[in-house]
Amino acid sequence: MRKRNAAMSFIVLLLSSAGVISIGGVEAADSVSKSTRSCTKMDFGKMPDGTPVELYVLSNGRVTAKVITYGGIVTELHVPDKKGKTEDVVLGFDSLKGYLSGNPYFGAIVGRFANRIAGGKFTLDGKDYKLAVNNGPNSLHGGIKAFDKVVWKAEDASGADGPAVKLTHLSPDGDEGYPGNLSVSVTYTVTNDDALKIDYKATTDKATPLNLTNHSYFNLAGPASGTVLDHELKLATDKYTVADDTLIPTGEIKSARGTPLDFTTSTPIGKHMNGLKADPIGYDHNYVLPGDGKSPKLAATVYEPSSGRVMEVFTTEPGVQFYTGNFLDGTLTGKGGVPYRKHQGFCLETQHYPDSVHHPEFPSTILRPGSTYTQTTIYKFSTR
């Protein structure tokens, strides 16, 4: 068994070559792997206005995550398979240029409001607010220049849990139409037990809707392997929010049992997909989770048979948007020159329900001054 309280020594090396700015590492006496935990900061190019973008490489010796300060994007996530061979299991690009040229939120932090707000407007405490309409008649994922498109501040936040980077951002009053100066932090940790843990925190000086998530597209056999239709998914729920044609919830919460939306037992993602009424075909549904906002609870387990990789998702959130990359169409070329086609990645975006601002019966998404928003989601890897 791994000794969690193992004596640790902290090393900091300064390197000036190859764009490496600093390395902070935690070396642990680990009876299983003798792993070396490290947090390495590197350059990842510049924004068109000259703002530098940094890349943080977080590794526990088995799992390695790469995170950039632009959009807080997880650009790479290297995870061992059942034979110990490590592969990058998320979609993304090799360079900043790829991310700046437009993409469907690969790996990004989404906010202020993940998912859709009907009509791009809401009323809060008697005041009307207008948002950008950027998805049919609705506002999607926080607007035009939302959290996925800003450069976050970053600092090494490595600790006993493992190597970590803490990203912070101040979203000013009126940003993308939302009220209040909102101070947000997102900490990514590669934990000692092979998970990518994401801790979100936020405070505001005026009441505002808030719904944060991470939009990583996973392919547990590696994005070059083709679609994710053979991945087997089990969700810790049979319930989902019924939505209209523009993916806005009607308010009804229904059981998925016996329908193509039923993942109460481990089922290949592609098995019942053609029974969906969706164009383009695929899943893009919000499931209702047991999350109570306190401790993270199991939401989903995904198993990829050829590699044996297993990903368990735990979250404090009451919902998860299961999306199967239905809008990928081969026009984006990702890491290593691989074109991303329909269903080549899946997302499990842990969040509050879409359009909660118009549904008082849904768990509230309103953050008020004096309260702190928190959210924790854990993507934990193992093999079978």
Cβ atoms 329, 344 nearer than 8 A: no
Quick one: which of 30, 54, 76, 284 contacts ligand GLA (CB under 6 A)?
Answer: 284
Q: In this structure, how many other beta carbons lie within 10 angstroms of the beta carbon of residue 275?
A: 10
Instruction: Count Cα atoms within 13 angstroms, Cβ side, for 375.
Output: 29
- Nearest approach in angstroms of CB 135 to ligand GLA is 6
Q: What is the Cα–Cα distance from 35 to 6, expressed in whole angstroms?
A: 12
Does the footprint of ligand GLA cover residue 103 (CB under 6 A)?
Answer: no
Does the footprint of ligand GLA cover residue 322 (CB under 6 A)?
Answer: no
Q: What is the Cα–Cα distance from 223 to 330, expressed in whole angstroms?
A: 12
Q: Which residues are catalytic?
A: 215, 349
- Nearest approach in angstroms of CB 161 to ligand GLA is 28
Stretch that binds ligand GLA, among 250-258, 287-295, 319-327, 332-340 (CB under 6 A): 319-327
Burial of 127 from C-beta contacts in 10 A (0-12 / 13-18 / 19+): exposed
Decide whether 156 or 349 has the Cβ nearer to ligand GLA: 349
- Residue nearest ligand GLA, CB atom distance: 104
Residue in 74, 41, 66 with CA at minimum distance from that of residue 155: 41
Decide whether 56 or 263 has the Cβ nearer to ligand GLA: 263
What residues from 348 to 367 belong to the interface with ligand GLA (CB under 6 A)?
349
- Nearest approach in angstroms of CB 328 to ligand GLA is 8
Does the footprint of ligand GLA cover residue 10 (CB under 6 A)?
Answer: no
Q: What is the Cα–Cα distance from 129 to 362, expressed in whole angstroms?
A: 20
- Nearest approach in angstroms of CB 248 to ligand GLA is 11
Q: Give the pairing type, strands 164-171 and 153-156.
A: antiparallel
Burial of 13 from C-beta contacts in 10 A (0-12 / 13-18 / 19+): exposed
Stretch that binds ligand GLA, among 31-39, 251-259, 321-329, 366-374 (CB under 6 A): 321-329
Grouping H, G, I as helix, E, B as strand and the rest as coil, residue 96 is helix
- Nearest approach in angstroms of CB 115 to ligand GLA is 6
Decide whether 115 or 204 has the Cβ nearer to ligand GLA: 115
Quick one: which of 35, 213, 307, 321 contacts ligand GLA (CB under 6 A)?
Answer: 321
- Nearest approach in angstroms of CB 326 to ligand GLA is 7
Stretch that binds ligand GLA, among 25-33, 121-129, 320-328, 373-381 (CB under 6 A): 320-328
Please count the residues of this chain forming the interface with ligand GLA, following the rule CB under 6 A.
10
Quick one: which of 4, 306, 327, 364 contacts ligand GLA (CB under 6 A)?
Answer: 327
What residues from 107 to 166 belong to the interface with ligand GLA (CB under 6 A)?
115, 140
Give the list of residues 6+ apart from residue 355 with CB closer than 8 angstroms, or none.
115, 116, 117, 118, 138, 248, 249
- Nearest approach in angstroms of CB 114 to ligand GLA is 8
Decide whether 87 or 349 has the Cβ nearer to ligand GLA: 349
Q: In this structure, how many other beta carbons lie within 10 angstroms of the beta carbon of residue 33?
A: 12
Residues belonging to the chain: 384
Does the footprint of ligand GLA cover residue 320 (CB under 6 A)?
Answer: no
Site string for ligand GLA, 216-255 (x = CB under 6 A): ----------------------------------------
Q: What is the DSSP letter of 91?
A: -
What residues from 27 to 86 belong to the interface with ligand GLA (CB under 6 A)?
none
Quick one: which of 25, 72, 104, 180 contacts ligand GLA (CB under 6 A)?
Answer: 104
Q: Which strand (E) or helix (H) includes residue 246?
A: none
- Nearest approach in angstroms of CB 327 to ligand GLA is 5
DSSP string, 319-368: EEEEE--TT--S-EE-GGG-EE-TTS-BEEEEESPTTGGG-TTSPP-EE-
Does the footprint of ligand GLA cover residue 287 (CB under 6 A)?
Answer: no
Residue in 258, 70, 210, 227 with CA at minimum distance from that of residue 152: 70
Q: Give the pairing type, strands 232-235 and 297-303.
A: antiparallel
Residue numbers at the binding site for ligand GLA (CB under 6 A)? 104-105, 115, 140, 284, 321, 323, 327, 347, 349
